Copies of this chain bind each other. A is one copy, B any other.
Amino acid sequence: MQRDVSPLERARTGYRPRLPRALESTTATGLEPGDPTSAVRDAEAVRDRFPRTFGRPTLRVGPGATSGARALTVGVVLSGGQAPGGHNVIAGLFDAVAASGDGARLHGFLGGPKGVFTGDAVVLDAKTIERFRNTGGFDMIRSGRDKIETAEQLAACRETCTRLALDGLVVVGGDDSNTNAAVLAEHFAEHDMATAVVGVPKTIDGDLKAGPVEASFGFDTATRVYAALVGNICRDARSAAKYWHFIRLMGRSASHVTLEVALQTRANVTLIGEEIREQGATLDEITNRVAEAVRRRYAAGRSYGVCLVPEGLIEFIPEMGRLIAELNDILAGAGADDPATRLGAESRALFEGLPPAIREQLLLDRDSHGNVLVSQIDTELLLTGKVAQRLDEWKRAGKFDGSFKTQNHFFGYEGRCAAPTDFDADYTYGLGRFAAALIAGGHSGYMSALSGLAADSADWTPVGVPLTSLMQIETRKGKQVPVIAKALVRTDAEPFSTFAAARERWALEDEYLYPGAIQYFGPDEVRGARTRTLQLESGVRGGGS
């Protein structure tokens, strides 16, 4: 089927991602090992769980790298939420596999990991790949949130990989999916499978990074989509001089997206979940901070502003966490007519101070286990409700005489499937190419990584990173398990401290930046800039923050 495409999609299909020099002309089977690796923490426990794949060395492309000698058969699966660039991982993989020899083949598993254990796959041909180059979305083979966990599922995966005679299986996913890839690699090693399992770091949340893995793909594009919108809203706020806009941004476990958008736009008030947790801040204190910014701006003649809130804010507030845990316990018990009356004194006071709509969401929305559906709570409504209450109190006390009119927004879905920026298009294409190189070398349990991302893409360094080296022990569902650690915002690192040093000024003045729409053509500085997070983490200052 010839699909009609938009002019921009047509123009972008012809874009040729720039490859790191190290990957230019080879599938690089001759990768050079560095020193053996350990784990982020809890090395012994991780080794116990991954006896066969633990401790392997990182791998780099050396001068002796040569083209792969055999035609590869590879499978690829997309796992979890969409992120811009997924199709280019597949395109990079396809080109490398196709170049490996006659009879090479790339299988795409449909609908996520379930496609692997049910064996639901299609052969990806050049024509299909061509239609999806540099496009957003995961619609080529779709994705899914299943995990490969049970003995039956693991066995079924072995069966699929054996039946398709896969040299490699590429798992494109976030921290959980890559943990799952490590489990699969260990399981395959235990069963002497010839299929190398290789992970690719994907998530718009930006919370999968450690050591040579400097960024997950999709973060660049998604934050640019959000920053463009937030910048437009900052300009609208300043033009209309009438509303406070509260904007919730996707990212439940970590606040990287919110921090990056703050750095790109200099919105007036930004809440960072990790700081709030570290401070043990109460909802009351957070409310005061925002209300105080509203009051001070009003006093300076500015009855408008923009406040950024990470989606996961509630879970970062310790007392809200306790309230939710208590509610879950109470709701698990039978016949709780009015659960609120059974809360402890502190939680009850907190609960009763919440805006009515939020109280309702806490009591009514349930997940399949009967727990409070935290992700469905409209954090920005919680905040505007609380701040409005506080300002009313201040008004009665003569501390504030202004107005507080709000508009709420949530940005998430509009960024996950945007067409990748040049950065993400190049990055993902390179990750796919290098994943093929790892497979050609028979290296299983590795993550395909490119380092030095702040530099020009030609200078990026491919690194094979053992998945176990990214792990530590965490408690999940009451069990101690080795997992790839989520990278949270570090309040002692450059991105946060740059923000923290400027936020007082941003709160009071209008120092908005208007990043504008993602550009795929035009001057380098417009088209090729890196995220502020990546720049600051790489020690690149300047850029105006």
- What is the interface of chain A, defined by CB distance below 8 A to chain B? 4-12, 81-82, 111, 135-139, 142-143, 225, 228-229, 231-233, 235-236, 238-241, 245, 264, 407, 409-410, 413-419, 511, 513-523, 525-526, 529, 544
Contact = CB atoms under 8 A, between A and B. Distances in A.
Contacts of A241: 111, 142
- Copies of this subunit: 2
Nearest to A412: B407
Contacts of A525: 7, 10-11
Nearest to A419: B516
Contacts of A544: 4
Contacts of A417: 232-233, 235-236, 239
15 contacts: A4-B544, A6-B513, A9-B513, A111-B241, A135-B235, A136-B235, A137-B239, A139-B238, A225-B232, A229-B414, A232-B414, A232-B417, A235-B417, A418-B516, A517-B520
A513 B136 contact: no
From A10, A231, A236, A520, residue with most partner B Cβ within 10 Å: A236
From A7, A139, A407, A416, residue with most partner B Cβ within 10 Å: A7
Contact of A516 (B12, B82, B235, B413): B12
A519 B516 contact: no
A493 B352 CA distance: 55
B523 A522 contact: no
Contacts of A7: 523, 525-526, 529
From A81, A514, A515, residue with most partner B Cβ within 10 Å: A514
A462 to B, nearest CB: 28
A126 to B, nearest CB: 22
Contacts of A416: 232, 236
The 9 A-B residue pairs with the shortest CB-CB distance, nearest first, are A521-B522, A517-B517, A137-B235, A235-B417, A8-B516, A521-B521, A138-B239, A236-B417, A229-B414
A11 to B, nearest CB: 5
A491 B417 CA distance: 33
Contact of A514 (B9, B225, B413): B9
A187 to B, nearest CB: 28
Nearest to A9: B514
A82 B239 CA distance: 7
A4 B523 contact: no
Nearest to A524: B7
A455 B370 CA distance: 60
A355 to B, nearest CB: 14
B236 A137 contact: yes
A195 B451 CA distance: 65
A432 to B, nearest CB: 18
Contact of A6 (B6, B229, B514, B523): B514
Contacts of A517: 8, 225, 228, 418-419, 517-520
A85 to B, nearest CB: 13
A79 B521 CA distance: 35
A413 to B, nearest CB: 5
A534 to B, nearest CB: 15
Given A522-B11, A523-B11, A413 B233 contact: yes
A312 B396 CA distance: 37
Contacts of A526: 7-8, 11, 521
A523 B12 CA distance: 11
B239 A139 contact: yes
A7 B519 CA distance: 11
A373 to B, nearest CB: 13
A240 B112 CA distance: 10
Contacts of A5: 513-514
Given A232-B136, A413-B245, A513 B4 contact: yes
A49 B10 CA distance: 54
A87 B535 CA distance: 33
Contacts of A233: 413-414, 417
From A228, A233, A414, A418, residue with most partner B Cβ within 10 Å: A414
Given A519-B520, A520-B522, A511 B137 contact: no
A428 B523 CA distance: 25
Contacts of A516: 6, 8-9, 12, 418-419, 520
A241 B82 CA distance: 11
Given A225-B517, A232-B413, A235-B417, 4 more contacts: A6-B514, A111-B241, A136-B232, A142-B239
Nearest to A518: B517
